[in-house]
Amino acid sequence: MNDVAVIGAGMTVFQRRLKETGKELSYLATKMALEEAGITKKDIDMVVMGSAPDAFDGIHQKGENLLDGAAGAGKPYVRVFNGGGTGVFAPIAGWWHVASGVADIALVVCEEKMGNCYPHPQTAFRHIWDPILDRPLAPNLVWLFAMEMNRYMTKYNIKKEDIARVAVKNKRNAVGHPCAQLPDEKITIEDVLNSEMMAWPVQRLDISPPSDGASALIFCSKDKVRQFTDDPVWVDGVGWNIDSTMWTNRDLSFPRYVANAARMAYKMAGIHNPRKEIDFAEPYDPFDYKELHHMEGLLLCNKGEAPILTREGVTERDGNMPMCPSGGLMGVGNPIAATMGQKICELYWQLAGKAGKRQIPTDPQVGVGQAWGDIMQMATVAVLRRG
Amino acid sequence: MAKKIEGSPGYAPGTRVSTKDIVQKKISYSWWEPEVQYSWSMGQAMSKFIMGLKDGKILGRTCIKCDRVLVPPRMFCEYCYGPTDNWIELKDTGSIETYSISYLDSDARRIKDPILIGVISIDGASPQHGFMHYFGEMTKEEIHIGMKVKAVWKAPKDREGAITDIKYFKPLKGGGKK
Ligand SMILES: [Zn+2]
């Protein structure tokens, strides 16, 4: 396999609704990544598009719809998709385009426009439930996460206030992010605990918002990377794994598929002790409890230990193991696939020392990013390292 | 050579709009309401399971090789990847694996009387084998993980071959204490 480096990234503002079409957002994010890499469309060999369910945009097979905006016209182009896992799976697909040697430079573009869907994107989520067993019960997708959160809290005796700390941390971290939808410097644990009850134990401020947005990333082979930078950031390992769709037959207290994906990525990256060898992480945080759940799934701490480490400040930007220094989905927003901007672009910006106000002060060398999707079953993981 | 950027992303392209902008037609938009219907054949395993519910029975399927009793039943085992072996009738009791108290309907509209919803592990099936359903005849203060519950069925004449032939699960007598 060829070594693969990141040479540019971009992202649009994330917001409940943006005026630009998905195609235009793809163009804006891509243009930014091209500028940062110092290249143009003609330098791109192949393009990967990541976008989650068509039902949000209301445009079927939206890969084609987005194509021209993603610099894909006239090139090898493919859309990949695994629900919420897409934001890290699309860069994994971009990585293998270059690692396999079929491309020297691959562009990855992720887009989501959830604001198109009325009365609420939750209405489109109705269509992902099993039509025989689940849909006759008129479910809301938040139920799934509420049930998983409850199982996790009950099994490890976790208090809601220790989960609320994640929402507070991430919304505060997002203050330094120019694209952020919900940065909040002044938010407190009490604000989260007093927010509207949606589906116990999930309250309004436990959830990331639906958003419009796009992000882009450019990968380059080792052979060509010195043309673009003296200080590359490398993709050291990738992993993905999916558990059975029979979610009512699984113990929801631990995401074993995340652990499987993490082990795959760590093995490829030559990481034997992730707690010591990884400096920071961007675990997928569409809900505050998911950051904790995923820290454990990523084998960065023991089962049930993530809330304790969070309480002790270990996961703050200046802590020993910063989590979601970007501000995550909780603070920056959740345009599903486009969260590649927090989960992978942020790793690149942090490792390249370009994260500005969000920069981790301790000179991080290795970071792991992760996303999660389908029916609480899909994990996608990537490990990046400073050159 | 790459552009030197002090803080990335160096800017944030995109134009924020609000719902008000749309309602007041301050931005141009088009609108479409899809009309489409679907019907799904329930297949081999689910047809039998659902017809079992119509008869007031919860049916499972055994995988002898994995020593599992599968609920919901399937004709093949996803682990050993062989055919499953036998149909088996289970009790209509179980325990609450996890639950939520929902103030949201399926369109995320707010509702006043919360829905009690969760996963029931069915007695006689393998651990954590069961399905999602409603709970009733219990308060949101009483419901808890591990609570023993029993199915409340629709009257036979009202059953139609659906998961909703069970109305909800209620506390099993003597099993409702925390
Ligand atoms: Zn088996």
- Full pLDDT tens readout for chain A, 387 residues: 999 999 999 999 999 999 999 999 999 999 999 999 999 999 999 999 999 989 888 899 999 999 999 999 999 999 999 999 999 999 999 999 999 999 999 999 999 999 999 888 888 888 889 999 999 999 998 999 999 999 999 999 999 999 999 999 999 999 989 999 999 999 999 999 999 999 999 999 999 999 999 999 999 999 999 999 988 999 999 999 999 999 999 999 999 999 999 999 999 999 999 999 999 999 999 999 999 999 999 999 999 999 999 999 999 999 999 999 999 999 999 999 999 999 999 999 999 999 999 999 999 999 999 999 998 999 999 999 998
CATH topology of domain A4-119+209-386: Peroxisomal Thiolase; Chain A, domain 1 (3.40.47)
Closest CA in chain A for residue B7: A356
Asked if the bond preceding A119 is cis, omega within 30° of 0, the reply is yes
Can you read off the two tokens belonging to residue B99?
A: 């639950």
Chain A contact present for B169, CB below 8 A: no
Contact with chain A for residue B18, Cβ under 8 A: yes
What are the backbone dihedrals phi and psi of residue B13, each rounded to the nearest 5 degrees, phi first? -70, 155
Mean predicted confidence (pLDDT) in B94-121: 94
Closest residue of B to A181, CA-based? B16
Q: What distances in angstroms separate CA A371 from CA A91, A240, A290, one per listed residue? A: 11, 10, 10
Q: Length of chain A, please?
A: 387
Q: What is the pLDDT of residues A106-124, one digit of tens each?
A: 999 999 999 999 888 888 8
Nearest neighbour of A58 by CB, restricted to B9, B32, B126: B32
- Using the beta-carbon criterion (under 8 Å), do A140 and B104 form an inter-chain contact? yes
Find, in chain B, the residue whose alpha carbon is nearest to that of A29.
B13
Measured in angstroms, how far is the CA atom of residue B76 from the centroid of ligand 1? Answer: 8
pLDDT attached to residue B7: 80
Helices (DSSP H) in A194-232: which residue ranges?
222-225
**B87 CB neighbour count, 10 Å cutoff:** 14
Q: CA separation (Å) from A213 to A113, A193, A217, A381, B83?
A: 6, 28, 14, 21, 45
End-to-end, the C-alpha distance of chain A in Å comes to 17
**Domain boundaries in chain B?**
43-171
Task: Identify the pLDDT of residue A53.
Answer: 87
CA distance B18 to chain A (A): 6
- Stated as kind and residue range, the H or E segment containing A46 is strand A46-50
Q: What was the pLDDT predicted at B1?
A: 47
Q: Exposure string (b/e) for A211-229, b if CB count within 10 Å is 16 or more?
A: bbbbbbbbbbbeeebeebb
Those residues with Cβ within 8 angstroms of residue B43's Cβ, 6 or more apart along the chain or in another chain: none
Point out the least confidently predicted range of A152-166, A361-375, B3-17, B128-142: B3-17
User: What pLDDT shows up at residue B34?
Assistant: 86
Quick one: pLDDT at residue B174?
66
Domain ranges of chain A: 4-119+209-386
Ligand 1 center from residue A65 Cα (angstroms):
43
Q: What is the largest CA-CA distance in chain A?
A: 58
Distance A17 CA to ligand 1 centre (A): 47
What pLDDT is attached to residue B5? 59
Interface of B with A in 68-107 (CB under 8 A): 70-72, 74, 78, 97-107
* Sequence-separated (6 or more) residues with CB below 8 Å from residue A161: A189, A193
* Ligand 1 centroid from CA A250, angstroms: 15
Q: Nearest CB to A136: which of B10, B13, B164?
A: B164
Measured distance CA(A34)–CA(A76) in Å, rounded: 18
The token pair at A380 is 């996608």
pLDDT for res A127: 86
Chain-centre distance for alpha carbon A196? 26
pLDDT 10s digits, A212-253: 999 999 999 999 999 999 889 999 999 999 999 999 999 999
- Each residue's pLDDT tens digit, B53-102: 999 999 999 999 999 999 999 999 999 999 999 999 999 999 999 999 99
Residue to substitute from A143, A206, A218, A228, interface B, most B β-carbons within 10 A: A143
pLDDT at B4: 53
B45 touches chain A (CB under 8 A): no
Predicted local distance difference test score (pLDDT) of residue B3:
52
In chain A, alpha helices (H): 22-37, 54-57, 62-67, 86-99, 121-125, 141-156, 160-173, 189-193, 222-225, 256-269, 274-277, 288-297, 306-311, 328-332, 340, 346-351
Which of B104, B131, B143 is most worth mutating to test chain A (most A CB atoms within 10 A of its CB)?
Answer: B104
The reply to whether B147 touches chain A by the CB within 8 Å rule is: no
Q: What whole-number percentage of chain B has pLDDT above 70? A: 94
Q: Determine the pLDDT at residue A5.
A: 98
Sort out which chain A residues have CB atoms less than 8 A from B106's CB and list them.
Answer: 122-123, 126, 138-140
Which pLDDT belongs to residue B176? 47
What's the confidence (pLDDT) of residue A125? 84
Interface of A with B in 212-231 (CB under 8 A): 212-213, 228-229
